Amino acid sequence: MARLGTELAARIGRALITESNSSFPNPFMESITRANSAQNRFSRLTEPVTRGSSHRSASLNSPLSCSRFLQLGFSATRVHSQLTYLPGKSQMAFSVFNEAKSQSLDLGTETSNSLLASLGSDRCFKNAMEVFDEMNSRGVGFSTIGFGVFIWRFCRNGDLGEVLRLVDAVKRWNSLINGSVIAVLIVHGLCEASRTSEALRALNELRIRGWKPDFIAYRVVAEAFRSLGSVFDVNEVLKMKRKLGVAPRSNDYREFILCLITERRIYEAKELGEVIASGNFPMEDDVLNALIGSVSTIDPYSAIKFFHFVIGKGKFPMLLTLSNLSRNLCKHGKIDELVEGGRVREAYEVLQEMRKKGLDPDISIYNSLIEVLCREDLLRPAKRLWDEMFVIGCGGNLKTYNILIGKFSEIGQTEEAMRLFNHMLEKGLTP
C-alpha cells in the first residue's frame, strides 16, 4: 500500500505540475494533447473505493480532499486529463505535496523538483520554501531545472545572503547541479531587479563556492552596469571575465532550455534564450527551432529575433518551425502587430525567407500584411506585395480583393478599383 501511495502521489503531482503554463502550447506535445483532450477533457472519474463491488463516481472538480485522491485507485492518465484543465495547478500540486508529506509518502526527485520550479515560476515563494526545506531535510536531490527556476525568480526579491544560504544547502546534497548555469540565472535575476552591485558580489561568492560563472554571467553584469552608464564598473567586470571566467558549454544550456520548453516554462526559456543570443553566444539548431516555435505562441517579437539570429548564422529554421511561426504570427493579428509597431520590413522578410526555402506562405499571411499596409496608407508596398503574389502563383482570394478595392475607392482611384473588381469577377469570385 505504501508503494502504491507513493506511485500515485508522484503521478498526480506530475500531472498537476507539467501543465502549470498550459496556456502556452508546447509544439512538441500538441498532437498528444489534442488526442488526449478530445477523449478525456469532460470525462468523469469512476473508480472502486474498496476491494468490494461498490463504486463511487468522483470528479476532480468536486470537494474531495487531496488525501482522498491518494487513497482512491485513480488511473493516472484519466487524472492527468482532468487536472490539465483546472486553474491554480501549482497550488493544487502543493496541496498534494502536503498530504503526501503528512502520510510520509515520498514524491520522488523528479516530481519534487518540478513542484519547486512550478512554485518558483509562479512566485509562490512561501510554499516553494516549504518544498525546498522538505527536500533538504529528506536529502532529496536538487536538479538544475528545479533549483534553477526557483532561485532565478527568488533572488529578484530575496536577500543575497539568503540566496547564498540556499546555494550552500544545495551544494551539501548535490554536486551534479550545473553551477555555471545557476550562476547566470542568479546574476540575471539580480540585475533584472536593479541590484547590479549585488550581482557583482554574487559572481565572486559563487566562484568561491565552486560554481564558476562563465562568460555569459559576466556579460550579463557588464551590460547591466553599461545601462547605468558606469564605464569603470563595466571595465572591471570585463577584466574579471578575462581572468576568471570560463567558456560557456552550449550543450549545458541546450539541455536546460529544452527542459524548460518541455515543462512549458516558455517565459523562462525565452528570457534565457534572449540572454544567450544578445551576447552572440552559440546555440544549437534544435534549441533555436524549439525557441522560435514555442516563443511565437506568447511573444512574436522575440520569436522574430530568434529567427533573425538563425539567419545571421547563415542557417535557416526547419519548415515545421516556419509553419508554426507563420501560423502564430497570423493568429490574433500578430502580423498586424509587427507592422503597426513599425516593423513592416521584419514581417516582409519572414515571407521572403520562407519563399527562398521553397515554403509557400498561407494566403492569410499575405492578406494580413496587405490589410495593415493599406490601413497605414502604405499603398505602394501593398501593391508590390500584390504583384509578387501573382508572380509566385498565389492568386488573391475574395478578402484580398475586398481589401484593395476598398482602399483604392477610399483614396479616389476608382479606375484601379474597377479594374480589380472586373478581375475578381473574371476569376469567378462573387463579392
Please, are residues 103 and 67 in contact by the beta-carbon 8 Å criterion?
yes
Identify the pLDDT of residue 380.
84
Residue 44 lies in a domain: yes
Cell of 222: 557588464
Residue 376 lies in a domain: no
Please, are residues 305 and 334 in contact by the beta-carbon 8 Å criterion?
no
CA angle centred on 130, ends 116 and 79, rounded to 5°: 55
Q: Residue 317 phi/psi, 5° resolution?
A: -65, 160
Angle, helices 179-192 vs 144-154, to 10°: value is: 20
Residue 406 lies in a domain: no
Count how many domains the chain has: 1
Q: What string of DSSP letters covers 241-300? A: HHHH-B---HHHHHHHHHHHHHTT-HHHHHHHHHHHHHTT----HHHHHHHHHHHTTT-H
Identify the pLDDT of residue 96.
72
Identify the pLDDT of residue 263.
85
Residue 146 lies in a domain: no
Residue 184 lies in a domain: no
Identify the pLDDT of residue 364.
75
Instruction: Give every residue of the chain whose pLDDT is below 50, as ranges.
Output: 1-2, 4-5, 8-12, 14-88, 332
- What is the domain range of residue 81? 1-107
> 318 burial class (0-12, 13-18, 19+ CB within 10 angstroms)?
middle
Identify the pLDDT of residue 77.
30
Q: Give the pLDDT confidence of 249-288 residue by residue, as tens digits.
A: 888 899 999 999 988 899 999 999 999 999 999 999 999 9
Residue 294 lies in a domain: no
Residue showing cell 508554426:
324
Residue 63 lies in a domain: yes
Q: Are strands 45-48 and 55-58 parallel, antiparallel or unpaired?
A: antiparallel
Residue 189 lies in a domain: no
Identify the pLDDT of residue 342.
53
